[in-house]
Amino acid sequence: MGLPVVAIVGRPNVGKSTIFNRLVGERIAIVEDKPGVTRDRLYGKGEWLNRHFHVIDTGGIEFGETDEILTQMRHQAELAIDEADVILMVTDGRTGVTDADQELARMLNRTGKPIVLIVNKIDNPDMRADIYDFYTLGLGDPFPVSGSHGLGLGDVLEEVVKHFPGGEDEERDDDVIRISIIGRPNVGKSSLTNAILGEERVIVSDVAGTTRDAIDTPFERDGQNYILIDTAGMRKRGKVYETTEKYSVMRAMKAIEESDVVLVVLNGEEGIIEQDKKIAGYAHEAGRAVIIVVNKWDAVEKDDKTMLRFTELIREEFKYLDYAPILFVSAKTKQRIHTILPKVNQVAEAHSMRVSTAVLNDLITDATIMTPPPSDRGKRLKINYATQAAVKPPTFILFVNDPELMHFSYERYIENKIREAFVFEGTPIRIWTRKKT
């Protein structure tokens, strides 16, 4: 199920992160001028010859005692072993083969998984002779590359895609709604999973971090098929000490990418903390439909204004999720659990909604008449034509006389008009401006 996974492993300072950035391209550099959208990633997405794949960066091994390096490297290799379809082992052509490289190569050889050996920092043709020592690792032909200059990575990717399972990206069943449940540890994600399913399918414990894996559970309700993914709680990156927990965050990130709808779970007892905003940012940035679920509402002391105040707080703290509906539930007492799946159906439909070009252009014309675009130094923005380019999330392209004239505030105005007309509840909307040609 899902896209192939490529894991990047290697000892410190061989250039793993540089190669990761090259493989995922612009996805690593998403810049959005909205508060709370996270920038750091363990997972990225790459593409080569129309084959899409996930990339894991297993960086972060720090120097210390030699034994400690090998221990940490072994943990990182285990991540790759668990997750990857293909493993990229990165070495340093300037320093040559080291004992640590030999140790890692022996571990990877035992996995039985396809391994592509990269010799990085081969920045000019005169250095190509330095790669021959790397045949001693027993991993086949080494590929000379320069991560910093982007040289040689095409040959690497040609080799990588040969090892992907299947000939093409798997077709997803559009009739199945994939739901992932995300949130920091101990907000009640596993209890919520069991409450939705109506049976004890996932271990529930008061100890934070009980769920180590992402568990796919297919089920059917009222004629609709779903796959529910309960993910391990995501802690703040600085607190991710255990390798198993790093693995859990990776699985959660992948679950988000593979989802149609993400339930962002908050703890009603504890309120909102910074990490909640980071976690929700992952889902928003991935372009998934989002529902904010406030769990443990039964344990909150309430008056007639409590729900309203909490809603206002969520809207203030999650400004970039102003499109997401909010549900107040209790997995423990089953309070309002029955409202979740109907709302999931609703936002999934909005997430995949397509608007006809004629209707869209009528709407844009009316919007520009009601509020004409602002002018800049005597030049006024003119929107010539609009079309919907994609769904999941709905993505619109505006062809204009000069994209530089599209101010953020006017783009937001256009988005609001589209939302008013077509009720895109629960889904982000992407708007791109292109110069009319």
**Residue 241 CB partners (closer than 8 Å, separation 6+):** none
CA 189 – CA 263 distance, rounded (Å): 9
CA 193 – CA 178 distance, rounded (Å): 13
Q: What are the tokens at 331?
A: 């997995």
**Residue 351 CB partners (closer than 8 Å, separation 6+):** 260, 261, 288, 289, 391, 392, 393, 394, 426, 427
Q: How far apart are the first and last CA of the chain?
A: 40
Q: List the binding residues for GTP.
A: 10-17, 57-61, 120-123, 183-190, 230-234, 295-298
**What are the residues facing 217 on neighbouring strands?**
228
CA 104 – CA 401 distance, rounded (Å): 55
User: In the chain, count of helices (H) and strands (E)?
Assistant: 11, 17
**Residue 240 CB partners (closer than 8 Å, separation 6+):** 246, 249
Question: Are 34 and 147 spatial neighbours (Cβ–Cβ below 8 Å)?
Answer: no
Residue type, 312: E
Q: What are the tokens at 401?
A: 């006389």
Taking CA atoms, 217 is separated from 176, 178, 200, 214, 230, in Å, by 12, 10, 12, 10, 8
CA 37 – CA 334 distance, rounded (Å): 31
**Residue 203 CB partners (closer than 8 Å, separation 6+):** 190, 210, 211
CA 400 – CA 385 distance, rounded (Å): 7
134 DSSP 8-state letter: G
CA 233 – CA 264 distance, rounded (Å): 11
CA 38 – CA 280 distance, rounded (Å): 9
Q: List the binding residues.
A: 10-17, 57-61, 120-123, 183-190, 230-234, 295-298
390 DSSP 8-state letter: E
